[in-house]
Amino acid sequence: MKRFTYLIVALLLVSGIKVKADEGMWLPMFIDRLNYVDMQNKGLQLTPEEIYSVNSSSLKDAIVGLSNSPAPQGYFCTGEMVSSQGLMFTNHHCGFDAIQKHSTVDHDYLADGFWAMSFEEELPNEGLTASFLIRMDDVTDSILNNISDTLIGQARTAAIKEITERLKTNASEDGKYNVVVKSFFNGNEYYLFVYEVYRDVRLVGAPPSSIGKYGGDTDNWMWPRHTGDFSIFRIYTAPDGSPAEYSEENVPMVPKHHLPISLDGVEKDDFAMIWGFPGSTDRYLTAKGVEFTTEYYFPPLIDVFGKKLETWKKHMNEDQAVRIKYASQYAMIANSWKYFIGQRKGVKNLDVIGTKEKYQKEFMNWVNSDPERKEKYGNVISDIDEQILQQMGSIKPLIYASVSGMGGSQIIGFARNYSGLESKLEKLKEEKDKKKKAKAEEKISKMAEEMISNLDEDYKDYDMATDKDVFAEMTKLYYENLASDMYPEILVDLHKKFKGDFYAIADYVFEESVFGDPKKTEEFLKDPKLKDLQKDPAFIFSKQYMAGLMKASQSFRQENPAAAKAERLYMQAMREMEPDRYFYPNANSTMRFTYGQVLPYSPADAVEYDYVTHLSGVIAKEDPSNDEFIVAPKLKELYETKDYGPYGTECGSMVVCFLTNNDITGGNSGSPVINGKGELIGIAFDGNWEAMSSDIAFAPKFQRTIVVDSRYVLFIIDKFAGATRLIDELTIHKQMPEPERVEMMEEVPTE
């Protein structure tokens, strides 16, 4: 074994490859060429074919991209197949929106959990889709060989688009597949991805939030963690196995591969890999780019999101129905808000800007030491930074206009939906021809009827009193943070009329507008009049906010072809400067894997964190006065009786979460954490506070992935929920300790 290791090290040295186990989100098609030897060395026992194969079933066939689109370009979360009957695991926070949508005060699945005890009880989720990667191809040459290097700006984008569209059509097999082409390494490489998209994905099980979201926003992004962050879905297909819309006739999918689940538990240094769809990272940003992100982009978002959360929370605490309505939106905004704050802290603590500046100095020395290089790459950083400087000056109005203006309150969004009706009514007014007029009227009443039929759905997660306060607070932030040339006229008028009292402005708008109340909207729609629409204050706000947003967006997004070219060249130059370094592409919502180990860490001087947490820690954190730390009585009972079944450890404890040093980001949520044998050991669900800057710079000493242990997942399904029918369809692996096996054999009665 040892000799083998030396051989590998020697090979790596000879070929000059430097691979780091933990850092990197790697492309599956290169596993054999780039990573396999290193992975094997670290404990992987599968062959490359067993992991990624285009011709036969392999591990990649168990990995699912989750989206709300029938033809996704990206995925909000990852899932993994765990049975031959289409059962899929993901995170509770990935299923949260679906769970919330099915919840009412009478069936509060968020609070109480949900367990379908038969196939019939499984709940369809309109719009939710599950994508499987069929294959990926390198199409760099097909694209870049047909494009001149000097082509820049919109002409370049258009030329690339034309070729990609052709490639996509060819690979789609008449629409059977969803084909996506993405740029990698800032336009230096292109890959094509062929996916099969399943459109009938049903909710099967979810623990109560007191397990699935235990610790809430307080513990979010942090270790030590005690969250059972998982939920269960099932993919259905048409009877012939092909993807289909929801139908009663549909049958559970038979996936090409599903992951067996290990009950053996993890130990420090164990091999662990994670497969999934990381959304976005920006690891090759310049120092100025980092400054832009943390000092210009995030602060207005933190400001607006913080106020929105505070306002929502007040109302959610007072009323269960309101709490259910806003739960999903609240969780999403709270998660981003804390992420922005954490990333700013991380960038400072880890001196990310200083490190980048040092790197850029070395880079410029390398560039300047050769006249040819100087000619080619001499301006790349300054060209990139010039665009960033321009954006630093224009981001603030854009953020406030979009998140406190247009996207501030729901009433503005509702009103915005009526601009189509407005133009139809305007045309009608101009129409002189009687016949055409009658036709136009018919069209309008059809449109209005349809809008009436959508009202229940549109206003499902809306509470007027809550949104009125949100409107007041958001309008105030807009007013206080933007220059007067961004003020909508109506805001100026109302501000004067109500002497700067934003709550009085809100009262007026919600009283006078039809869009704050679906009943009033319905009345309006029964006989829609242009005059009424055009004097509706929410409608006027929506139009004027939109105009402001367009203006802010234009000044932010000034076309800068030199910068786009410079980004491409900077990447190319870095790779030229460091030929021995293996660069991995930024995350872009395509399938990746990352591999590393189960590891503890030290978050600060003299502080050591263990790599596992236990059920005892859940109990220790209990606080019945805080809804984030409530422990269900049943869970407490199981803890007290130590009724862990086969899921506890040999020492009689129940592991809840563990840590690895894998490199993941948002989108990886729900990803399988897999051991060297290809078995599921847990589900990844978070990153840690000390490495919140990781989307910009990997922090090897601190960066950890937080995983819910597969044993805890099964314990909750089996012992807590009693959903044994689900346990029965899983493929469970548990190694018997040697002596016990002998005992068992002795106990077998002879017939």
Residue placing its CB nearer to ligand ARG in the complex, 28 or 279 = 279
Q: Is 627 in the site for ligand ARG (CB under 6 A)?
A: no
Cβ proximity to ligand ARG: between 418 and 685 the closer is: 685
Report the distance separating Cα 214 and Cα 216, nearest Å. Answer: 5
Least gap, CB of 101 to ligand ARG (angstroms): 17
Which residues make Cβ contacts (< 8 Å) with residue 430, sequence separation at least 6? none
**Min dist. Cβ of residue 669 to ligand ARG (A):** 4
Tell me whether residue 220 or residue 466 sits nearer to ligand ARG (CB atom): 220
Tokens coding 411: 């009433």
Q: How far apart are CA 238 and CA 251, in angstroms?
A: 6
Residue 173's CB is within 10 A of a number of other CB atoms, namely 11
Residue 234 CA to residue 252 CA, distance in Å, equals 7
CA distance linking residue 77 with residue 64, whole number of Å = 9
Burial of residue 124 (CB within 10 Å: 0-12, 13-18, 19+) is middle
93 binds ligand ARG (CB under 6 A): yes
Site membership for ligand ARG, residue 517 (CB under 6 A)? no
The distance of closest approach from Cβ of residue 220 to ligand ARG in the complex, given in angstroms and rounded to an integer, is 4
Q: Given the rule CB under 6 A, which of 66-74, 214-222, 366-374, 696-704 is the region that contacts ligand ARG?
A: 214-222
Nearer CB in complex with ligand ARG: 24/95: 95
CB of 658 to ligand ARG, least distance (A): 16
Phi, psi values for residue 235, rounded to 5°: -95, 135
Contact status: 669 vs ligand ARG (CB under 6 A):
yes
Least separation in angstroms between residue 291's CB and ligand ARG is: 24
* 621 contacts ligand ARG (rule: CB under 6 A): no
CA distances (Å), origin 711, targets 22, 71, 638, 657, 659: 24, 35, 14, 10, 15
Applying CB under 6 A, does 560 fall inside the site for ligand ARG? no
Is residue 221 part of the contact set for ligand ARG (CB under 6 A)?
yes
Strand pairing category for 592-597 and 271-276? antiparallel
Angle between helices 464-481 and 298-318 (to 10 degrees): 160
Catalytic one among 58, 262, 669, 693? 669
Residue 542 is among the residues annotated as catalytic for this protein = no
Phi, psi of 571 (to 5 degrees): -60, -45
315 catalytically annotated: no
385 in contact with ligand ARG (CB under 6 A): no
Binding residue (CB under 6 A) for ligand ARG from 43, 74, 124, 216: 216
Q: Which one, 334 or 486, has the nearer CB to ligand ARG?
A: 334
Query: Given the complex with ligand ARG, which of 204 and 706 has the nearer CB atom?
Result: 706
- Residue 325 Cβ vs ligand ARG, minimum distance, rounded to whole Å: 17
The residue (of 596 and 670) whose beta carbon lies closer to ligand ARG is 670
Question: From residue 328 to residue 347, what is the string marking binding to ligand ARG with x (rule CB under 6 A)?
Answer: ---x--xx------------
H-helix segments, 631-709: 633-641
Say whether 669 is catalytic: yes
CB 713, min distance to ligand ARG, A: 16
d(CA 497, CA 177): 57
What CA–CA distance (Å, rounded) separates 509 from 467? Answer: 11
**584 binds ligand ARG, rule: CB under 6 A:** no
Name the CA dihedral angle for 563, 401, 694, 271, rounded to a multiple of 10 degrees.
-110
Q: Which of 22, 83, 92, 93 is catalytic?
A: 93
| Surface-to-core class of residue 300, CB atoms within 10 Å of its CB (0-12 exposed, 13-18 middle, 19+ buried) | buried
Q: Which of 61, 97, 200, 229 is catalytic?
A: 229
Residue 516 CB, nearest distance to ligand ARG (Å)?
A: 28
Nearer to ligand ARG, 76 or 400 (CB): 76
- In the range 11-30, which residues lie near ligand ARG by CB under 6 A? none
Cis amide linkage into residue 397, ω under 30° from 0: no
Task: Output DSSP code: residue 382.
Answer: H
666 near ligand ARG (CB under 6 A): yes
Q: Smallest Cα–Cα separation from 163: which of 177, 150, 148, 178?
A: 148
Q: Which 676-715 positions form the footprint of ligand ARG (CB under 6 A)? A: 686
**How far is Cα 451 from Cα 660, in angstroms, rounded to an integer?**
50
Work out how close the CB of 129 gets to ligand ARG at its nearest, in angstroms, rounded to a whole number: 19
How wide is the angle at C-alpha 510 spanned by C-alphas 504 and 514, nearest 5°? 155
Binds ligand ARG by CB under 6 A, chosen from 217, 458, 643, 729:
217
Total number of residues that touch ligand ARG (CB under 6 A): 12
Task: List interacting residues with ligand ARG (CB under 6 A).
Answer: 93, 213, 216-217, 220-221, 331, 334-335, 666, 669, 686
- Give catalytic residues, as residue numbers: 93, 229, 669
